[in-house]
Amino acid sequence: MENCEEKKTLGKEIMIGRTRFSSNVLMAPLAGYTCFPFRLMVKRLGAGSAYTEMVSADALKYNDRATSRLLFTDEREELKCVQLLGAIPAVFERAAKSERLAKFDVIDINMGCPVPNVVKSGEGCALMDDIGRASAIIEAVKRSGKTVSVKCRLGMNRKKIVIEEFARMCEGSGADMITIHGRTRDMMYDGEPLYEYIKLAKQAVSIPVFANGGIDSGEKALLTMEKTGADGIMLARYGFENPLIFPQLSGTKCSDTKYSLISEQLDIAGECYDELFVLTYIKKLASYFMKKLPGTKQKKQELFKCGSITQLKPLLWDIFGS
């Protein structure tokens, strides 16, 4: 385990608007990954919050199965956080005030997704190129009375880094928190984050600013805090690869192993979803857990051939328990 003795401010409780986050080590929303069982797990391990997968604000008007699955939660999830994607302020306001989001405490607005079809629709990172519209969306969501956070990038490219102005706009429009992925849209998920711009944004506003991007170890988490002066960090894919980073950074007592975690996930997912979804989710999680483990190529092949939970259980023990 990496030495996080000098973790400085990591692991502390923080207020976001009127909402208390038990830790300033957060889990990012990840499409296809941050389902209800996973959110429960990382919060038990010390994450201060964990958001749903990205949900289309417009899709909330339909009572479809896919959106209902994204929004699934129950009383075990004490702090409920949802992320919305869209481009129309009125649609955001309707969604934020809807009965379907009544149970959620925090709404995060996705203004950072760099995927081409999202950007072409004027959503995600495209909103950083339309500050007026972005402001109207934040104001619309804020009228719901809920705590509002914004997840964004530095700008569309290195020649158009707008994060200082954008951060000030977020605060002025009513956002309670900003999470900044320290890359521009054209960098996608590659390259060293540009920490200095997160620091400039942090210095430009008084609301909490969280740093995101490129955090794949305890040391990198501390380095990110040091270089940005952020109020906390938000882990993304590394949180899925190694959830045990959460107790390490937050100081939460933990005796779990990857086997105990994935077994628990299998049980909780089985309570909430159909077998096909459970199989798909557990295979993805197990595959992430196996990263950097030696000699797992054959095991991965066996994993993805499993056609039932009955077949899956002994294989999970063979991979992680023995």
My answer on whether 307 and 287 are in the same domain is: yes
DSSP lists the bridge partners of residue 160 as none
Q: Token pair of 52, please?
A: 């749903």
- The arithmetic mean of pLDDT across residues 147-159, rounded, is 97
Segment 183-216, tens digit of pLDDT: 999 999 999 999 999 999 999 999 999 999 999 9
Residues 6+ apart with CB under 8 A from 64: none
Domain stops at, among 215, 250, 285: 250
The torsion of the CA quartet 118, 120, 126, 129, rounded to 10 degrees, works out to 180
Residue closest to 27 by CA, chosen among 8, 45, 15, 3 = 45
pLDDT of residue 322: 66
My answer on whether 143 and 280 are in the same domain is: no
Please list the alpha-helical segments (H only) found in the chain: 36-44, 65-70, 89-96, 116-120, 131-142, 163-173, 195-204, 218-228, 237-241, 245-250, 258-272, 275-289, 297-305, 309-316
My answer on whether 187 and 306 are in the same domain is: no
Q: For the ranges 113-122, 252-261, 286-295, 306-315, which has the lowest average pLDDT?
A: 286-295
Segment 273-294, tens digit of pLDDT: 999 999 999 999 999 999 878 7
CB 240 within 8 A of CB 27: no
Segment 228-246, tens digit of pLDDT: 999 999 999 999 999 999 9
List the CATH number of the domain containing 191.
Answer: 3.20.20.70
Segment 32-55, tens digit of pLDDT: 899 999 999 999 999 999 999 999
Segment 60-80, tens digit of pLDDT: 988 788 999 999 999 999 999
My answer on whether 240 and 279 are in the same domain is: no
- The reply to whether 125 falls in a domain is yes
My answer on whether 188 and 287 are in the same domain is: no
DSSP lists the bridge partners of residue 19 as 16
Q: Token pair of 8, please?
A: 């400085």
Domain that holds residue 273: 258-321
> DSSP string covering 93-138, please?
HHHHTSGGGTT-SEEEEEE----HHHHHTT-GGGGGG-HHHHHHHH
pLDDT of residue 136: 98
**Whole-angstrom Cα distance, residue 115 to residue 186?**
10
Domain stops at, among 222, 250, 278: 250
Looking at the structure of the chain, the number of domains it has is 2
pLDDT reading at 3 higher than 60: no
My answer on whether 141 and 237 are in the same domain is: yes
Q: In this prediction, what percent of the chain has a pLDDT beyond 90?
A: 91
> DSSP string covering 8-47, please?
TTTT--EEETTEEES-SEEE---TTT--HHHHHHHHHTT-
pLDDT reading at 1 higher than 60: no
CB 114 within 8 A of CB 107: no
- The arithmetic mean of pLDDT across residues 95-109, rounded, is 97
- The arithmetic mean of pLDDT across residues 145-157, rounded, is 97
- The arithmetic mean of pLDDT across residues 247-265, rounded, is 95
Active-site pick, 81, 113, 125, 170 = 113
- The reply to whether 229 falls in a domain is yes
My answer on whether 185 and 113 are in the same domain is: yes
Residue closest to 178 by CA, chosen among 205, 145, 144 = 205
**Whole-angstrom Cα distance, residue 179 to residue 189?**
16
- The reply to whether 3 falls in a domain is no
Active site residue 113: yes
My answer on whether 222 and 179 are in the same domain is: yes
pLDDT of residue 146: 98
Mapped onto helix, strand or coil, the DSSP state of residue 179 is: strand
Q: In this prediction, what percent of the chain has a pLDDT beyond 70?
A: 97
Residue 143 has what DSSP assignment? Answer: T
- The reply to whether 69 falls in a domain is yes
- The reply to whether 7 falls in a domain is no
Residues 6+ apart with CB under 8 A from 271: none
pLDDT reading at 311 higher than 90: yes
CB 175 within 8 A of CB 138: yes
**Whole-angstrom Cα distance, residue 99 to residue 76?**
20
Between the CA of residue 55 and those of 70, 169, 173, 303, what are the distances in Å? Answer: 7, 23, 22, 29
Give the neighbor-by-neighbor strand order of the sheet with 147-152: 25-27, 232-235, 209-212, 177-181, 147-152, 106-111, 81-85, 51-56
Average pLDDT, the chain: 94
Q: Token pair of 69, please?
A: 């699955």
Domain stops at, among 250, 276, 296: 250
- The reply to whether 6 falls in a domain is no
Between the CA of residue 110 and those of 28, 80, 115, 155, 300, what are the distances in Å? Answer: 11, 16, 12, 14, 33
